[in-house]
Amino acid sequence: MTDSSTKMNRFKPAMPIIPGVPLPADEIPAGFEKVNSSHIALWTDRNLQIRAAAALLVLLCLVLVAFRVLKKEPLPAALILDSPAAVGTAALAGSALPGDLPLAPGPVALSQDMGKPWSLAKFQISLPTGERAPAMVIRLPGGSGSSAYWGLLSVAQYGQCELALVTDVAKIESDYGFRARHPMVVDSCAQIVYDPLSYGRAHGRLARGQVVKGPGMRPPLAVEILVQKGSLVATRSE
């Protein structure tokens, strides 16, 4: 005959036995020993879980740092366009180049015609893109040989107007707000003043024509000038 306690147990199932999960002392079935904490499965160890999570976090941080270090950032367009292609296309399209101007590469002026300081000769130069750009060569005070001349494109990077040499220092001060002691090269559209006797930075190196007034990014693009048999020869541009 079944007693009342047995009948009650039918409606109260025993706690299932799960490996690694200890049972309350009063619910351990007969024949089973209390689980020892040293026998708990490794994956249920709370300390081990914390250490594994910390190690995973450190590994993830190292991967992110390595990715940022090895990732090659693209250079800004203003830094990589160090070539004639960087000349303002609008200015090239609007430049009316006289057909009688000398065409470089080649001789562009006679050295005997450029004997006085601040003498200027205009010419045109063929670019690798197939276009022709206006250019000029200026006789600088002092110097000898090729170092006495400054060749430059007459259109600045991304410029809209041709550059011009202004020899009237009073005009430079009144029109551009810069008190000059000698002639300057100017961009009338952008109100930029370039100093032919000073050097500025251009892509990590020095270049003649430092920006002394206005929003210019760098000196004008240079044209290489050589003195050969009494002629000034323009060989190439930036």
What does the block give as tokens for 210? 């430092």
pTM of the full structure: 0.60
| Whether residues 41 and 118 fall in one domain | no
217 domain residue, yes or no: yes
- Domain finish residue from 70, 96, 127: 70
Q: How far apart are CA 16 and CA 12, in angstroms?
A: 12
| Whether residues 50 and 92 fall in one domain | no
39 domain residue, yes or no: yes
- Domain finish residue from 30, 45, 70: 70
37 domain residue, yes or no: yes
**Per-residue pLDDT, 117:** 96
pLDDT (tens digit, 0 to 9) for every residue of the chain, 238 residues total? 555 444 445 555 665 656 555 556 565 555 555 444 444 455 566 777 788 788 888 888 787 776 665 554 443 333 333 444 445 544 454 455 566 899 999 999 999 999 999 999 999 999 888 889 999 999 999 888 999 999 999 988 777 789 999 999 999 999 999 999 999 999 999 999 999 999 999 888 999 999 999 998 899 999 999 999 999 999 999 8
β-bridge partners, 225 = 234
**Per-residue pLDDT, 93:** 43
**Per-residue pLDDT, 191:** 94
| Whether residues 115 and 16 fall in one domain | no
Residue type, 209: G
**Per-residue pLDDT, 72:** 43
| Whether residues 65 and 106 fall in one domain | no
**Per-residue pLDDT, 51:** 81
78 domain residue, yes or no: no
What does the block give as tokens for 8? 């009650």
Residue type, 184: M
| Whether residues 102 and 178 fall in one domain | yes
Q: Domain of 213: which CATH number?
A: 2.102.10.10
- The boundaries of the domain holding residue 128 are 84-237
- Domain finish residue from 43, 70, 97: 70
Taking CA atoms, 157 is separated from 84, 202, 221, in Å, by 9, 12, 7
What does the block give as tokens for 29? 């079935």
| Whether residues 38 and 97 fall in one domain | no
DSSP code at position 224:
E
Q: How far apart are CA 221 and CA 153, in angstroms?
A: 6
**Per-residue pLDDT, 35:** 45
156 domain residue, yes or no: yes
At 197, phi and psi to the nearest 5?
A: -100, 5
| Whether residues 203 and 147 fall in one domain | yes
- Render pLDDT for 43-65 as a digit per residue (tens, 0 to 9): 566 777 788 788 888 888 787 77
| Whether residues 47 and 115 fall in one domain | no
H helices within 97-225, ranges in order? 169-176
CA atoms within 13 A on the CB side of 166: 25
CB 177 within 8 A of CB 205: no
Q: How far apart are CA 197 and CA 211, in angstroms?
A: 11
| Whether residues 13 and 111 fall in one domain | no
77 domain residue, yes or no: no
| Whether residues 162 and 54 fall in one domain | no
**Per-residue pLDDT, 138:** 97
Q: Enumerate residues 6+ apart whose C-beta is below 8 A from 106.
A: 233, 234
Spell out where the chain has E strands.
103-104, 106-110, 120-126, 132-139, 149-153, 164-166, 184-187, 192-202, 205-213, 222-228, 231-237
| Whether residues 112 and 218 fall in one domain | yes
| Whether residues 98 and 168 fall in one domain | yes
- Count of domains for the chain: 2
